Structure 1
Amino acid sequence: MIRRIGEAVKPGQRYGLRPGVYAVLLQGDQILTTFQANPVPEYQLPGGGIDRGEQPIAALHREVMEETGWRISVTRRLGAFRRFCYMPDYDRWAEKLCTIYLARPVRPICPPTEAGHSAVWLPTDEALARLGNAGDRAFLAQALHQPR
C-alpha cells in the first residue's frame, strides 16, 4: 500500500489518477528545487506527470530539464506517496501518485523552458521548511538520512 501524505480525500470528490516522477537533487548541503510562481508561489521538487506511453525515468529527465534546465543522473528510487489535490493548471482534481528518485545534478544546459518555473538552489535545512508539500519534505528528510 502506498501511503497518503497531505490533505485528506474530500468525501464525494472524484479524483483522476495522475502518475508522476520527482527528483531529490542534492549537491553537498544544497538541493536544486524549482520555484513555481503561479498559481500559488512555492518551491517544489523538480518533476511532474508521466505522459501516456512515456517511461518513468525518461519522464523524470524531461521534467527536470523543463523545470530547471539541468541534466541529471538518476541514482535510485526512494519511494512513493499519494497526494489528493486540485490541479489549477489542468482544472481537475487528482490523485497524484508521486514516485521520488534520488538523483545527482550533472550540469545546467539552459534556462527552464516551462513557463513560470525557475531553478533555485536552497540549503537543505531551508528546503525542509519551504518545500510546498508534505510529501516533498518527507522524502527530502529521508534522503538526507541515507547514504548517497
Structure 2
Amino acid sequence: MAAESQNAFDPEGFAVWRAYLRGHATVTRALEAELLAEQRLSLAAYDVLVQLAEAPERRLRMTELADAVLLSRSGVTRLVDRLERIGLVTRSRVREDGRGVAATLTERGMDRLRRASRTHQQGVVRHFADRLDEADMVNLRRISQRLVD
C-alpha cells in the first residue's frame, strides 16, 4: 500500500504516460507502414513469424502464440488463417494431447521473414535507435524491464 500512495497518479505522471503512448504509436505506425509498403506484411504478421522462428521446432500452440504476440486468441486465429493461406505457416493438432492446435513456420515463411527482417531492422534503427543516445537506451531498458516485472 505504501508504494501505491507514493506513486499517486499526478498531472506530470499523466503527461509522461501520454508521451510514452504517442512515442510508441509513432514508431509502430512507421514500422507498420514500411513493412506493408516494402514487404506486404503487417507488423502483427511479422511478429507472428518472429515468434514462430524463435520457438523450438519453429512451432507454438496457438494459445502460446496469442500470449507471445499480445493478440486475442481469435485475432491470432484470423491472422494465422491468412498466413496459412499464403503458405507461410501450417497448423496441426498437438500430438501430445490431440486437442490443442499448433502453428508451425514453413520454409517459405522463414524466407519471407528473412526478407522482411531487413526492412524491419532498418526501420527500428531509423525510427527508434538513432533517436536515442546511450543513456536513453540504458534508461529505457531499465524502465521497460521494470514494467515487465
Q: 1 or 2 for the larger relative contact order (CA 8 Å, sep ≥6)?
A: 1
Per the normalisation by structure 1, the TM-score is 0.24
Q: TM-score scaled to structure 2, two decimals? A: 0.24
Bigger fraction of residues in strand:
1
Q: Which of structures 1 and 2 has the bigger CA Rg?
A: 2
More helix by share: 2
